[in-house]
Amino acid sequence: MMFFMAEEQTGTTSVPMRSPAGATTRTTGSASGGAASAPRVWTMRLLVLGIVLTALNLRPAITSLGALLEEVRDELGMSGSVAGLLTSVPPLCFAVFGVMAPWLARRFGPGAVVCAGMAAISAGLLLRPYVGSTGGFLAASALALMGIAVSNVLMPVIVKRWFPDRVGAMTGLYSMALALGTAAAAAVTVPLTDALGGRWQSGLAIWGALSAAAVLPWIPFVRAAGAGPADGASAAGFDGGEPDDGLRITRSRTAWALAVFFGLQATAAYITMGWMAQIFRDAGVAAGTAGVLLAVTMVMGVPLAFVIPRLASRLPHQGPIVIALGVCGFAGYAGLYWAPAGGAWAWALLLGVSNCAFPLALTMVGMRARTSAGVAKLSAFAQSTGYLLSIPGPLLVGVLYQSSGGWGLPLALMAGLMVPQVVVGVLAGRDRTVEDETAARQDGRTAVQHRPRRSPGGEEVGD
């Protein structure tokens, strides 16, 4: 509120302007108040509302299905392999469709793309319970996940463009809302289904209403065709985004480190969501308690997703946070191996802390590029590459569990993956930008190309 109130202070300022001939003229008006400031204040408030509602809708499509997967499988006659494919579709869609987000943002503007993404989520969630076939269910799920993928990539871009001096705070708010939506969908989908008559279709479709509400705040930021430069949406900065700056993101070591870090933390998150409850149940924990333990792990992300980005944005190097989260992950996996039932609550809390590497990764995306165009490319590269890397993890855990008949090997794999996660996270957390890295590599290559050649006697020779 103080941020918005500061923009409402008024005052009259004489502003110099130039005529087409170059003569100086003067106009008077309100510097930050009156007619100019009021639309901007409401624009900013609407933008914050849009960011929060968008974040709330980026995971319920996944976690609500997990709560009712058994009912969906029985009704649609899904085989176990198809159900396994369904659990692998989210990261695949995030990787494939996330690559398109920067181009779409340059072509239509990030606000318009996010608005369309929310509409796609709503349509997919409303359609998939009622299509009546496995193929239709997968197609409608892919439509919703496409909307999630482009919004995933563009949220850091919008935060960087509109809140360049508040990247940590706004990323924290966005991450907290995302964690809240994730946990809420997991916790209340079954009770909502019971309250709506016990049909799983209603329990899944209800989340389409929330995503439909998220469309509304973005409508003013969709630039109308033929709108002039004085148009509100254009003035707001969503008029087709920034031109391509020629940044070759794959030439940045930091970009690669961040992509691998993103992929490894996503691997840990999907393994946790898919298998942690089963680990507890196999250790003798009641099914209901195992579900609560999983919910506790996800709920940990709500407060920490707000705190960690704010802390990370104040540090020149985010490596210490990466290490602290990695230590929590090691401790949690070791506890699951040695005493899964006896210390269940402690392991759930520790893994919940470790899984907060996700908001840290988003914060580093906003900090490792100087411009919103750079953030768009870095976000798309890190998330798309990262989600591709995360696809085999949950499947490999299942294979190891089935082949070994226990959780020893899977837990060893999970703990082992924390080592490269910490290493690449420390590298990604260094105080540098991808623009500077790519420019330095280009300058070095140019210097090598223009280095004078010398004859065997030491004299310089021409080309």
Which one-letter amino acid corresponds to residue 34?
G
Q: Which two tokens stand for residue 375?
A: 């953030």
216 and 273: one domain?
Answer: no
303 and 206: one domain?
Answer: no
191 and 90: one domain?
Answer: yes
In the numeric block, the tokens 């705040």 are attached to 217
299 and 210: one domain?
Answer: no
Q: How many CB atoms lie within 10 A of CB 12?
A: 10
Task: Report the pLDDT value the prediction gives residue 243, as an integer from 0 to 100.
Answer: 53
The DSSP string of 377-393 is HHHHHHHHHHHHHHSHH
User: What are 422-426's contacts with CB under 8 Å, separation 24+?
Assistant: 422/322, 422/323, 422/326, 424/257, 424/258, 424/260, 424/261, 424/264, 425/257, 425/261, 425/318, 425/319, 425/322, 425/323, 425/325, 425/326, 425/357, 425/360, 426/319, 426/322, 426/323
Are residues 156 and 162 in contact, defined by beta-carbon separation less than 8 angstroms?
Answer: no
Q: Please give the residue range of the domain that contains residue 310.
A: 245-446
Are residues 147 and 125 in contact, defined by beta-carbon separation less than 8 angstroms?
Answer: no
The CATH number assigned to the domain holding 207 equals 1.20.1250.20
263 and 402: one domain?
Answer: yes
In the numeric block, the tokens 């520790």 are attached to 350
pLDDT in tens, the chain (463 residues): 333 333 333 333 333 433 333 344 444 444 444 444 555 788 888 999 999 999 999 989 988 887 787 788 888 887 766 766 676 788 888 888 888 888 898 888 889 999 999 999 999 999 999 998 888 998 999 999 999 999 988 998 898 888 888 888 888 888 889 888 888 887 788 888 889 888 999 999 999 999 999 999 999 988 643 333 333 434 344 444 445 556 788 889 999 999 999 999 999 988 887 788 778 888 998 877 887 788 888 888 888 888 898 899 899 899 999 999 999 999 999 999 999 999 999 999 999 999 999 999 989 998 999 887 888 889 889 988 998 999 888 778 878 887 888 899 999 999 999 999 999 999 999 999 998 888 876 655 555 455 555 555 555 555 4
Nearest CA-CA partner of 220 in 61, 50, 383, 359:
50
In a domain, 361, yes or no: yes
Q: Which two tokens stand for residue 101?
A: 């987000």
In a domain, 269, yes or no: yes
In a domain, 454, yes or no: no
263 and 189: one domain?
Answer: no
Beta bridge partners of 28: 14
Task: Report the pLDDT value the prediction gives residue 24, as an integer from 0 to 100.
Answer: 42
Alpha carbons 434 and 252: distance in angstroms, whole number: 6
Are residues 264 and 421 in contact, defined by beta-carbon separation less than 8 angstroms?
Answer: yes
In a domain, 6, yes or no: no
3-state helix, strand and coil shares in percent for the chain, rounded to the nearest 5: 75, 5, 20
Judged by DSSP in three states, 187 sits in: helix
Task: Report the pLDDT value the prediction gives residue 250, as an integer from 0 to 100.
Answer: 87
Bridge pairing between strands 460-461 and 453-454: antiparallel
For 406, half-sphere exposure in the C-beta direction (CA atoms, 13 angstrom radius) is: 8
260 and 173: one domain?
Answer: no
In a domain, 208, yes or no: yes
Is pTM beyond 0.75 here? no
What Å distances lie between residue 126 and 138, 235, 276, CA to CA?
A: 13, 34, 29
262 and 411: one domain?
Answer: yes
> Structurally, how many domains does the chain consist of?
2
In a domain, 124, yes or no: yes
In a domain, 313, yes or no: yes
Measured at the CA of 271, the angle between CA 346 and CA 282, to 5 degrees, comes to 60
418 and 279: one domain?
Answer: yes
Q: Which two tokens stand for residue 400?
A: 């190891």
300 and 426: one domain?
Answer: yes
Are residues 68 and 193 in contact, defined by beta-carbon separation less than 8 angstroms?
Answer: yes
Roughly how many angstroms between the first and final C-alpha of the chain, as a whole number?
65
196 and 254: one domain?
Answer: no
In a domain, 20, yes or no: no
Nearest CA-CA partner of 357 in 394, 382, 334:
382
Task: Report the pLDDT value the prediction gives residue 278, as an integer from 0 to 100.
Answer: 79
The DSSP string of 18-78 is E-TTS-EEEEEEESSSHHHHHHHHHHHHHHHHHHHHHHHTSSHHHHHHHHTHHHHHHHHT-
389 and 303: one domain?
Answer: yes
